[in-house]
Amino acid sequence: MKYTTLPHTSIKVSKICLGTMTWGNQNTEAEGHAQMDLAFDKGVNFFDTAELYPVPATAETYAETERIIGSWFQKTGNRDKIVLATKIAGPGDYTAHIRTNGFSKEAINDAVNQSLKRLQTDYIDLYQLHWPERNTNTFGVRDYKHNPDDRWSDNFNEVLNTLDTIIKSGKIRHVGVSNEKAWGTMRYLEESKQQNLPRMITVQNAYSLLNRVFEGDMAEIAIREGIGLLAYSPMAFGVLSGKYITGHVGENARLKLFPRFARYSSEQSTEATKEYMKIADHYNMSLALMALAFVNQQSFVTSNIIGATSLEQLQENLSSIDIELKEEVINAINDVHSRIPNPAP
């Protein structure tokens, strides 16, 4: 395994982070424990979860993933060996079964306290805001269109003050954002600088061969401001395994179970995936390994969040850390990107 550090800290984390959002839905508790065992044995010391998980979010399965992680900590005694990240759910109809008071002081405190109980720990290493409260273009929406009826009012200071109090209590160590855009990221950073409040040290956004939107304004912010990308969906919901093109799709495949998650299934995404598969075939590697290795070696990526529904998938995904793509492979990838840019924003 390779390691880096969370920005502005001395906390060492594995370059590959274990994603967990299938545990409690596509995967059982025993399977989740087996994945944690394997990842830990391979040197992964960074786990990412959320109170929302498993996905798709329902009232019946709410927070089951955190409970599975907590039971693994209790069973193994490995809490002090893991850097643990979780998130408070953002507001909206999708999360109305969790709470409806956004990122208010009461909401954040409740979310932290409930996560601590489920995770069977007394601290969280990295606490993240799952998506913005304000209306903006997230989750596959290509461009920002202002909504004049957006009722959100600027509360960056209030949110950071709430997080500051919780940090001082010892319940969380550091904070980050997720599914955030350039404006929101800079507002948090400037507010923390001007008011001496906790700074966001990471941003967890989608990043893959099919979605390189982060390479725009966000990459410059990440590098110049020192806020590391935790890249999620590097396999584009499994599309970049190539299985949907070759027809080798298991019954437990995400897009087969949940076809409404079509962010990476457009005609352009399929065409780009076929082109990337040709490159991988030419250089005698699997498309999955090429896709993950590409993310691993980006300078603005602090950690690459991988997920799997089987130990075989997880084993292959973890092995991507040993691959360094040559310049000629990168050039071939960039040629496809220039012709079919960001088909799945």
Mean pLDDT value of segment 82-110: 97
Structure tokens at 271: 């065409």
Residue 245 pLDDT: 81
Nearest to 11, CA basis, from 77, 79, 73, 83 = 83
Mean pLDDT value of segment 70-89: 98
Q: Is the pLDDT reported for residue 18 higher than 60?
A: yes
Max Cα–Cα distance, the chain, nearest Å: 55
The Cα–Cα gap between 201 and 32 comes to 28
Q: Is the pLDDT reported for residue 202 higher than 70?
A: yes
Q: Is the pLDDT reported for residue 260 higher than 90?
A: no
Q: Is the pLDDT reported for residue 322 higher than 70?
A: yes
**Alpha-carbon Rg of the chain, whole angstroms?**
19
pLDDT, tens digit (0-9, with 9 covering 90-100), for 212-257: 999 999 999 999 999 999 999 999 989 999 888 866 555 665 555 5
Mark whether 53 is an active-site residue: yes
Band (284; pLDDT cuts 50, 70, 90): very high
Average pLDDT, the chain: 95
Mean pLDDT value of segment 54-82: 97
The Cα–Cα gap between 275 and 298 comes to 21
pLDDT, tens digit (0-9, with 9 covering 90-100), for 172-188: 999 999 999 999 999 99
Instruction: Spell out the domain ranges in the chain.
Output: 3-236+299-324
Q: Is the pLDDT reported for residue 259 higher than 80?
A: no
Q: In this structure, what are the phi and psi dihedrals at residue 231, rounded to the nearest 5 degrees?
A: -80, 120
Residue 280 pLDDT: 97
Q: Taking a C-beta distance cutoff of 8 angstroms, is the pair 51, 63 a contact?
A: yes
Residue 283 pLDDT: 97
Band (337; pLDDT cuts 50, 70, 90): very high
Considering the candidates 3, 53, 123, 264, report the single residue annotated as catalytic.
53
Q: Is the pLDDT reported for residue 69 higher than 70?
A: yes
Q: Is the pLDDT reported for residue 329 higher than 70?
A: yes
The Cα–Cα gap between 73 and 40 comes to 12
SS (H, E, C) the chain: CCEEECCCCCCEEECEEEECCCECCCECHHHHHHHHHHHHHCCCCEEECCCCCCCCCCCCCCCHHHHHHHHHHHHHCCHHHCEEEEEECCCCHHHCCCCCCCCCHHHHHHHHHHHHHHHCCCCEEEEEECCCCCCCCCCCCCCCCCCCCCCCCCCHHHHHHHHHHHHHHCCEEEEEEECCCHHHHHHHHHHHHHHCCCCEEEEEEECECCECHHHCHHHHHHHHHCCEEEEECCCCCCHHHCHHHHCCCCCCCHHHHCCCCCCCCCHHHHHHHHHHHHHHHHCCCCHHHHHHHHHHCCCCEEEEEECCCCHHHHHHHHHHHHCCCCHHHHHHHHHHHHHCCCCCC
CATH of 3-236+299-324, one of 3.20.20.100, 3.30.720.200, 3.40.50.970, 2.60.40.1190: 3.20.20.100
